Amino acid sequence: MRIQKAMLFGARDLRFVEEEIEASRPGIGEVVVTAEITALSTGTDLGNYEGRSTEVPGAPDYPRSVGYSHVGTVTAAGQGAEWKVGERVFSTRPHQSAYLAGAGELLVSVPEGVDPAGASLAYLTQLGMAGMRQARYEAGERVAVIGLGVIGLCTVAVAAAMGARVTAIGNSPFRNALATAMGAGAAITSGDAEVENLKSDLVVLTANPWAAYRDAIAAARHGGRISILGFPGRAQAPPGFNPLDASWLYAKQLTLMGSGFSPRTAAEPHEVAFNLRRNLELIFDYMRSGRLPLERIITHRMPWREMRDAYDLALGRSKEMAAAVFEWGI
């Protein structure tokens, strides 16, 4: 079976290449998954498209596949496979029309009634959930989310679903309105003096600019925690201030942590309460119950052949693009 796969051969050099997979006779435990929807990450994916792939530690150089948010349907199953033909599954596979998954690959069931386009945002949402877990979030805390790209908006939505009192901080009236629609109790413009009055228990920083970092410091209460999902200062010159100034860390007794990691290991709940699989399953459960309508964040639904157009639009920092997904069945 010939498939189409998106590959980056360098900065802004996105091409579709053909690959061959064994789809007619999957091996023991293997399944063939045919794509329905894949999602664009305007953080990692866009950085790779801009030519900044190696800024992320351990990231591969070009040529490299792109994308990591894939929803598809099982179209063939080998003997002893866990999945049946017709089941819808989520994976962290790249943008590609189909793939052959082995018995040990992470596939997560997308429940009936969950919109597949919204489901394609599950991993991006999981990053925010993981960032809150690593910061020891407790229900009812005041959470500020800084940066309202797709990951920030997903974090607003999942924080609200988890019982947080959420304030969103962004630089676009359009994105701020979306954040309010996704459960934020308030939305504030970046740099506004009101940020210093928030006194948030937990701040989730999803934006990269140093100005956003300063907003995070300002928004946290004394003794607060800052969960850093972004890459502070990425593509910027060194700041004209000390990011670890004693008036912030010492005087406010803040805790800063890099975050977004979830264990991928397969383990029982008594060993690892929430690994990547269980985080994704919980997100899908929230979606099924209506607590997490991620499909509302999607502003652009495009055929996969127009993928380059979406990347170029995101490269122009369009504030009207929140989440973009690619449809493979058309």
Q: Is the dihedral of CA 313, 116, 92, 38 positive or negative?
A: negative
Beta bridge partners of 34: 73, 98
Lowest average pLDDT, out of 46-60, 92-106, 178-192, 261-275, goes to 46-60
User: Containing H/E element for 150?
Assistant: helix 150-161
Q: pLDDT digits over 249-286, tens only?
A: 899 999 999 988 888 888 888 888 888 999 999 999 99
Pairing status of strand 64-65 against strand 14-20: unpaired
Q: What is the residue-averaged pLDDT of the chain?
A: 92
Pairing status of strand 14-20 against strand 2-8: antiparallel
- The two counts, helices (H) then strands (E), for the chain are 9, 16
pTM of the model: 0.93
Lowest average pLDDT, out of 132-141, 198-207, 290-299, 313-322, goes to 313-322
- Give the side-chain half-sphere CA count within 13 A for 54: 5
The residue ranking higher by pLDDT, 112 or 48, is: 112
What 8-state DSSP symbol labels residue 267?
Answer: -
Instruction: Give the phi and the psi of residue 199 in degrees, each rounded to 5.
Output: 55, 55
Overall average pLDDT of the 27-37 stretch? 95
The whole-angstrom separation of Cα 8 and Cα 67 is: 10
What pLDDT sits at residue 330?
Answer: 65
Residue 215: pLDDT over 90 = yes
User: In sequence order, what are the residues at sequence separation of 6 or more whose Cβ sits closer than 8 angstroms to the Cβ of residue 104?
Assistant: none
- What are 81's two structure tokens? 């496979």
Residue 135: pLDDT over 90 = yes
Q: pLDDT digits over 294-329, tens only?
A: 999 999 999 999 999 998 988 888 788 899 999 998
Share of the chain residues as helix, strand and coil, in percent rounded to the nearest 5: 30, 25, 45
What are the structural domains, with CATH classification, of the chain?
A: 2-121+292-327 (3.90.180.10), 136-258 (3.40.50.720)
Beta bridge partners of 219: none
Residue 206: pLDDT over 70 = yes
